[in-house]
Structure 1
Amino acid sequence: MFSALRSAVPARRAAVRALSTSAPRADVARMQLLGRLVADPETRQTRAGKDYVRYVVATTDPLGPPGEEGGERPEPTTSYHNIFAFGESAVQRLSTIGKGTQVLVDADFRLARQPSEDGAAPAQTNILVQHRSIAVISRPKPAEPAA
């Protein structure tokens, strides 16, 4: 009787392992941003001489709930996200997109903590955002010539 139970336990453990579909190295931190380009994307070079593009997307946080006792809603806040894109195709694609364009950006990110120089202040956390793809939602309307 106990031998039957012992043989069932390893089979159950094996089944649990078989259901795991991701390895720890496959875990990612991703984000999507829907916003507008603050300026035209800038092409820069790494120390190794490879081109990359840096661009900034502005997003507006939605309005929150009304204030205490039904008061005014707080003003929406704008956040600015610095995004880096590497690779020749990204450089070519982003050179055609200009300031004011509404875009949907799919990106990977990671947090980088930098200790303060004096050691007394708390460490600063930076979000490093690397571009995966970008979709143009709408382009700004061209300015009408003055009459």
Structure 2
Amino acid sequence: MFSAIRPRFALRSSARAFSTTRIASSDLSKLTLIGRLGKDPEVRRTKSDQEYVMYTVATTNYPPPPPNPDGTRREAGTTWHTVLSFHSSSNNYLKTLSKGSRVYVEANFELRQPDPTADPDSPQGQRQIFLRHETLRLLSAPPRSSDSGEQ
């Protein structure tokens, strides 16, 4: 019944909608975060004196972990993500945000392997995730404190 309204070219096309060949130029590692800023974004400088902004996003691990054998359940934990932005146009906007802002962040990430010669307790001796800022959208401003002095 519905085959009469299907376009004729759709019947001839039996090609797959995706490719099985590797295209390195479009490979990417992207992380999407929805959470709150843990503190005001900080302006820093690289060794070559390039300005960048570092900010921290707190996310809640959801769903909570499975129940223990006795039926109790641990609370969902918080994960802290440090993101670095090297985009000067984005940095100007990031500087205006404040702690507690609810944000949607897209970042490229790179998994850095530990330095085998470094102390295992140091950051260089541990595996690290390096997050590079792509985009950020402000979802809501931080909650206003009730002790602002207004009555």
TM-score (norm 1): 0.76
**CA offset digits 1:22-53 (Å, max 9, x no partner):** 51232111110111111100011122222110
How far did 1:116 drift?
4.4
Q: Distance in 2 between matches of 1:95 and 1:120?
A: 34
RMSD value over aligned CA atoms?
2.6
Deviation at residue 65 of structure 1 after TM alignment: 2.8
**What is the letter of the counterpart of residue 127 of structure 2?**
T
| 1:56 alignment partner, SS class | strand
**1:60/1:134 Cα in 2 relative to 1: closer, same or farther (>3 Å)?**
same
Q: State the match for 2:127 in structure 1.
A: 125
1:98-137 superposed matches below 5 A: 98-117=98-117, 124-137=126-139
Question: Which has the larger helix fraction?
Answer: 1
Distance 2:145 2:118 in 1: 50
Give the SS at the match of 1:91.
helix
Distance 2:103 2:83 in 1: 12
Unaligned 5+ runs, structure 1: 1-14
Residue 90 of structure 1 aligns with which residue?
90
Structure 2, unmatched stretches of 5+, are 1-14
Structure number with the higher strand fraction is 1
State which structure, 1 or 2, has the greater radius of gyration over its C-alpha atoms: 1
Distance 1:52 1:72, change over 3 A: same
